[in-house]
Amino acid sequence: MDKISHRFLLVNGLKLHVADIGLESSPAVIFLHGFPEIWYTWRHQMIAVANAGFRAIAPDFRGYGLSDSPAEPEKASYDDFVNDVVSILDSLNISKVFVIAKDFGTWVAYSFVLLHPEKIAGIITLGMAFMPPAAYKPDFTLPEGFYVRRWQEPGRAEADFGRFDVKTVVRNIYILFSKSEIPIASGNQEIMDLVKPSNPLPSWFTEEDLATYAALYEKSGFRTALQVPYRSSHLNLGSTQQVPEVEAPTMVIMGDEDYVLKIPGMDEYIRSGEVKKYVPDLETIYVPHGSHFVHEQFPDHVNQLILTFLARYKHRTTINRVNQEMEAAEHDYDLNRAVGLKYGTILTLQCQLEVR
């Protein structure tokens, strides 16, 4: 962890925190977190990727972790998050990147990929597959007590979370999301009531990890985190009429005990290959016994999957760098030629004046 550096970038009027490891000249990988996570969720992957010769970058989204919150968190949108990703890469002079994302971070990632395909070397998502509006079916519905539906209601999650300290809220969500069943509350329950104080943390999630998350959510609070992903609906993922296609090489990593697969229609959508209608160059990997946090639960396994993918498509970043170098060389040649012509003209004029 000591090898990871931290910086703040002024992005779209906010100071955003970015964790960074690896040489600036190395092919870049940007990691996008979900909820209730921050950059720290990628700690195992960042070090592995850097050791393999890549540069790993993991921002805290606006309103998360150490990043500034927007002035009006309730107006934050997915578009803001996508624009921030673009601006972060521009600030770091990264023109082509691998994108690795989890949970709602995958929606940010896929929107970024569709809007800026020229910037993408490849994409890996964990816990979610690409699903544009055209892929949704009537059976993709869940009851009123589903945690997403509860947290979409302004004020409801705030009241639920407000009964506990921040550390307990993060603890409860990690326990809930680590299970294989969908978090659904009954009519007389709130989501936090689904976890008892006696329920243990997952074995792979330490008290130190919990303390790290809790300290940063103490700073940021949950206002932006409840707005995005739960209350901001606009996504640049196409429409039922305009069906987008992800052209970049893509890998989806799912824990085979991830509760997301219990969402009606989701498992069939992925396993049947229907998702390939929208992502033709797709490889899907199921990790045995893996939960929604499979990258933290089985970091070595997931790291190997990631490194294999990066090695396979590393040439896509090399081609981009060669093109950049050629463009820069052409620019320098044109500039030098222009300067040469300019000064050649001046010298000619001087000679003419001296002769006269």
**Section 70-89 average pLDDT:** 96
Active site residue 292: yes
Q: Are 199 and 210 in contact (CB under 8 A)?
A: no
pLDDT per position as a tens digit, 181-230: 999 999 889 999 999 999 999 999 999 999 999 999 999 999 999 999 99
**Position 311 in a domain:** yes
Instruction: Find the catalytic residue in 17, 33, 292, 295.
Output: 292
pLDDT per position as a tens digit, 308-329: 999 999 999 875 454 444 444 4
Task: Give pLDDT, residue 211.
Answer: 97
Task: Give pLDDT, residue 159.
Answer: 97
pLDDT per position as a tens digit, 55-75: 999 999 999 999 999 999 999
**Position 179 in a domain:** no
The total number of structural domains in the chain stands at 1
Work out the number of other CB atoms within 10 angstroms of the CB of residue 227: 20
Query: Could you give the percent of the chain with pLDDT greater than 70?
Result: 86
**Position 100 in a domain:** yes
pLDDT per position as a tens digit, 94-123: 999 999 999 999 999 999 999 999 999 999
**Rounded Cα gap, residues 126 and 37, in angstroms:** 13
Active site residue 313: no
Instruction: Find the catalytic residue in 230, 259, 269, 278.
Output: 230
**Position 124 in a domain:** yes
Work out the number of other CB atoms within 10 angstroms of the CB of residue 180: 15
The chain-wide mean pLDDT, for the chain, equals 89
**Position 325 in a domain:** no
| CATH number of the domain bearing residue 72 | 3.40.50.1820
Q: Tell me the residue range of the domain where 298 lies.
A: 5-139+245-320
**pLDDT for 163 beyond 90:** yes
Active site residue 230: yes
Task: Give pLDDT, residue 154.
Answer: 95
**Position 191 in a domain:** no
**Position 294 in a domain:** yes
**Position 167 in a domain:** no
Instruction: Find the catalytic residue in 103, 160, 209, 258.
Output: 103
